[in-house]
Structure 1
Amino acid sequence: MKLGEQRLGGRAADELQDLVLASSDLEEFLGGLALQAAIWLARADRHVICAVAVTRPRKPATIGAGSPDVLELEQLQSQGGEGPGITAMAEKRTVYVRDLTRETRWPEFCQTAASGGHFAVLDIPIELDGELDGEGDGERRAVLSAYARRRSGFTAGDIVTAENVARQVSRPLRLALRIGRLQGARDDLASAMQSRTVIDMAIGVVMAQNRCGPDEAFTLLRKASNARNTKLRDVATSIVASIAGITDIQSRFEL
C-alpha cells in the first residue's frame, strides 16, 4: 500500500458511487466531491478547502468548491486562462505552490488568493479517458485543487494522498460526465419533439385557414419565419397560442 492510501479507507468507492447517484447534475456532483476530498485531506492541525474543475470542448468550465471564495478563485483561473490549476491540467502534472505571496507566475490569482487568507495551493490533474463523445484526453480535463491557510501547508505525504484521491475520483467523475451527456441528449430530444409538435399544430392551423395541403402550409410557415427573422418554432408557437385564445390573430394566416 502506498503512503496515503490508508487515509481513504475501504468505504471511499461506495461513498463516491452514492455521490454520483444522489447528484442531480454535474455541478452538484463536483460540489459534493470537493467536500468529500477535503475530508480525506484534512488533518487535525490543518483546515483544507477543496475544489474540482472540469473543462470540456465548447462548454464553460464546470466547478464545484467547498466555499464561495475558493469557487471565486477557480472561476478567476477559468476566465483568465491561467493559474496553478490550469497549469496542472494542461501539463498533466501536480503543481504545488508553497507560498502564494512569493509566487510570480500568476500574479492576479496569487494576490486574490493570499488576500483571502489562502497561502498554499495543491493542484492534482484528474485523468479522464477519451471514450466520452469520442474525444481525446487533451480536450476534456479535470483538476482537484486543495487550499491551505498557512504557508507550506502540505507535506510530501499529503501530496501522495491527494494524488491517490485524484485517482480514486477519476472513474466516478467519468461516470458523472457520461450521465450528464445522456441527460443532455435526452433534454435535446425532448426539446426537438416539442418543437416538432408545435410546428405540426401550426401547419394544421395554416392548412385550415388557407385551405391548402401540408407542404404548402409548411412553406408558408418557413417564409414567415424568414420574413420576420424569427425561428420557425417561435412563429409556430405564436400561431398556436393565438388560436388558443392567448393573443389576437387575423382570421387568415398571411405573410
Structure 2
Amino acid sequence: MTEAEPPKLASISAVRRLPVLCRMSRGRQGLPEWHDPVRCHDPTDQRWPHLSKNLAASGACSVLGVPLELGKDSSAALNFFAPATGLFTDAAIDEAVVFAGTAAQALRLSLRIATLDLLVRDLKAAMEHRSAIDLASGVIMEQNQCSRGEAFAMLLQASQNRNEKLHEVAEGIIKAKTDTRGRTSITNFDD
C-alpha cells in the first residue's frame, strides 16, 4: 500500500471466505438488538467468541457491522472486514453508514417487490380456482339444502380432513357430479 492509496477495508477474497461470520440478526448467538455500527478491532474479542474465532482463522483483523433499517419485520446488517486493525476510523464508519443507508433502501425495495410478487401469484391462483370452488359450493348447497357459507365450510372441512388443497377437493366434486360424457350424476357429500 502506498501513501496515495487508501487502505482497503475488505477484499473480495476475504468476503468470499467470510460469508457467515457475522450474523448480527436480533436474538441470534447472544447478540443484542442493535441500531448503531459495531466495531471489533481485535480478532480475540470475546464479546462474540464464534465470530472472533472465524475472524482469526480467516486472517481478518477487524470487522465493522452496520445495521440496515428495513422495517419492523426484517433485519439485516452490512459487514465490512479488514486485514488490519485501526482501519475503521470515524470517517470510514461515517461512509459505511451512508453506504448502508443506500443499501437498505435498495433492499427494502427488493423485499417490497418480492412481497408483491408473492401476493400477485397468490391472487392469480385464487382467481384461477375460484370458479371450481364456487361451482362445488353450489353442488353442496343443492345437495344439502344449505347456505353458501355452510357449503364453503363443508368444502373447507373436507379439504382439511383429506389434507388436500381446497381447489382439488372442489374439482373432485365437480368431476364426480358430471361423468365422462357430461351427464349429471348424483354425488353424496359426506366427509
Superposition TM-score tier, normalisation by shorter sequence: 0.5 to 0.7
Please give the root-mean-square deviation of Cα atoms over the aligned residues, in Å: 4.1
Supply the distance in 2 between the matched residues of 1:240 and 1:141 (Cα, whole angstroms). 46
Deviation at 1:71, TM superposition (A): 3.2
Aligned residue pairs, count: 177
Amino acid at match of 2:52: C
Q: 1:81 aligns with which of 28, 42, 55?
A: 28
Whether 1:99 and 2:42 are equivalent positions in the alignment is yes
Match of 1:70 in 2: 18
Q: Is 1:49–1:70's contact at 8 Å kept on the other side of the alignment?
A: no
Structure having the higher Rg:
2
Change (3 A) 1:223 1:163: closer
Whether 1:197 and 2:131 are equivalent positions in the alignment is yes
Cα offsets for 1:97-140 (capped at 9, x unmatched): 1122x110111232234334433211112345xxxxxxxx5554
Q: Normalized per residue, which structure has more strand?
A: 1
Match of 1:169 in 2: 103
Match of 1:19 in 2: none
TM-score (norm 1): 0.51
Whether 1:252 and 2:178 are equivalent positions in the alignment is no
Structure 1, unaligned runs of 5 or more = 1-42, 51-65, 129-136
Supply the distance in 2 between the matched residues of 1:240 and 1:49 (Cα, whole angstroms). 62
TM-score (norm 2): 0.64
Supply the distance in 2 between the matched residues of 1:113 and 1:97 (Cα, whole angstroms). 10
Q: Percent identity?
A: 31
SS, match of residue 73 in structure 1: coil
Supply the distance in 2 between the matched residues of 1:127 and 1:194 (Cα, whole angstroms). 37
Structure 2, unaligned runs of 5 or more = none
Cα offsets for 1:39-79 (capped at 9, x unmatched): xxxx77636258xxxxxxxxxxxxxxx63x4333355x549
Deviation at 1:195, TM superposition (A): 4.1
Whether 1:143 and 2:77 are equivalent positions in the alignment is yes
